[in-house]
Chains A and B, each alone.
Chain A
Amino acid sequence: MIGLGFRARQAGGAADSDIGMLDISANALAVLILATMLVLTVASPPTPRGEVRSDDRPELFYPSPLDVAVVPQSAYWIVTDAGMTLLDLDAIAVGLVDGAAVAATAQAEATLTMDRRGYRDLNDHRMSLNLEWGALRDTALPITTTQEAIDLSTLVTDAFVNTGQVPTFVVTPAGTEAFSAIYWDLRAQQVPTRWVPIEERTPLVFTRRASNFETRSRQWQ
């Protein structure tokens, strides 16, 4: 009995020692897991937009693609020598919503063509806008000074950051020079930007057809 009792106490001590080690190692593991979670939370994630691994950003760089699941909504700006005007496409849509082929607003006259003989998708369309250049000039936000250019690029940047809205600029030759300040400022902020040159008195045409998706087209820059 004595021998058995002694051996039992000895064995119990070994078990306590194992449990103690188990306790220590489990706590150590918990501390490591907590430390890992803290590091993952606190450490800054790598910049998602970029193409080459490098410590420094090049002085002059190609715009990184915007890899998003859904293409962002676009705001269309008309740039003339008088400045920038936001094209009110909602007003045009209101005029066309009842099935009319032509709608006129203060900014443009829109003609919507939905040719059902050659369509592939139900929403294939072509919309031609004859812009009212005088009205666009009258309501333009000027870009004559550096501060005005900074204010306008801030306006566009905020729209991208807060609402995911990206700009498309339709630029006349006379507006190209003033627009360059806004363009390079938006590029420095990495705001995805598109711009297309247009001659005055030329219709602005929007299309949606299969070729828009099947060919390599200009993406957001």
Chain B
Amino acid sequence: MRISRTISHGASYTALVDILFATIGVFVIVFALQDVQPPQDLQPAPYAHLVLCEQGQVLSYLSAGSDTVTSLAIDDLDNGRLEERLMQGGRVLVALAGDCVRKDGANSIATLLTKLETTLSARPATGAAPLTLFEFSPLGQGEMGADVLRQRFLDGGGA
């Protein structure tokens, strides 16, 4: 009677040891996986398009992956020429000098670009025409000027 009780205690400990080793095994595997796949930080996304409006209302456009600067006229902002390029989707940086936010006629260049943002943001995004996200920034001179911004875009800012 005494023997069988002792044996039964021994068997229950064995089961507990088994569970503990299994738990330790889970920890070890999780640790090993952490070593194999170190997590990457989330980073902000680069731009796909750059639209510059410099002093004197000089407009230009650059696309990621191409160093060709396309000159634009003010009419291109609402005749579909710029819209067609931005329809490809992605993030757009619009840099505006003081001249471009000043109203000369009915609409300033900033207003026309804001309308374009509304048009492209309001449409349903599809695989063929993904969503376009705009950022408007002020354009300065020197280190904050158009040439430096263009170079930063070409040097790896573009997607």
Contacts and interface: CB of A to CB of B under 8 A. Distances in A.
Interface in A37-52: 46-52
Interface string B61-76: 0000000000000000
Given A62-B91, A181-B144, A171 B47 contact: no
Given A32-B27, A183-B138, A51 B44 contact: yes
A8 B6 contact: yes
Interface of B: 2-3, 6-7, 9-10, 13-14, 16-17, 20-21, 23-24, 27-28, 31, 39-47, 91, 93, 96-99, 101-103, 108, 110, 118, 121-122, 133, 135-141, 143-144, 149, 152-153, 155-158
Given A22-B16, A61-B46, 13 more contacts: A11-B3, A11-B10, A15-B6, A29-B24, A50-B44, A52-B44, A57-B43, A60-B158, A62-B133, A62-B135, A64-B44, A176-B98, A199-B103
18 contacts: A15-B10, A22-B16, A25-B21, A46-B42, A49-B42, A56-B43, A57-B44, A59-B152, A61-B47, A62-B133, A173-B101, A175-B98, A176-B139, A177-B97, A177-B98, A178-B140, A180-B138, A197-B108
A21 interface: yes
Interface string A1-33: 000100110011011001101100110110011
B13 A47 contact: no
A197 B47 contact: no
Given A18-B17, A174-B98, A47 B144 contact: no
Contacts of B103: 199
B46 A58 contact: yes
Contacts of A173: 98-99, 101-102
B42 A58 contact: no
Contacts of A171: 101, 138
Given A15-B13, A177-B138, A177-B140, A197 B101 contact: yes
A62 B137 contact: no
A53 B43 contact: yes
B41 A47 contact: yes
B42 A59 contact: no
A214 B7 CA distance: 72
Main secondary structure of the interface of B (DSSP, over half): helix
A147 interface: no
Interface residues of A, number: 56
A18 B46 CA distance: 60
B20 A26 contact: yes
Nearest to A202: B103
Given A32-B24, A50-B43, A63-B135, A176 B93 contact: no
Given A14-B10, A57-B44, A22 B20 contact: yes
A195 interface: yes
A179 B43 contact: no
The winner among B16, B44, B140 for most chain A CB atoms within 10 A is: B44
A21 B139 contact: no
B44 A15 contact: no
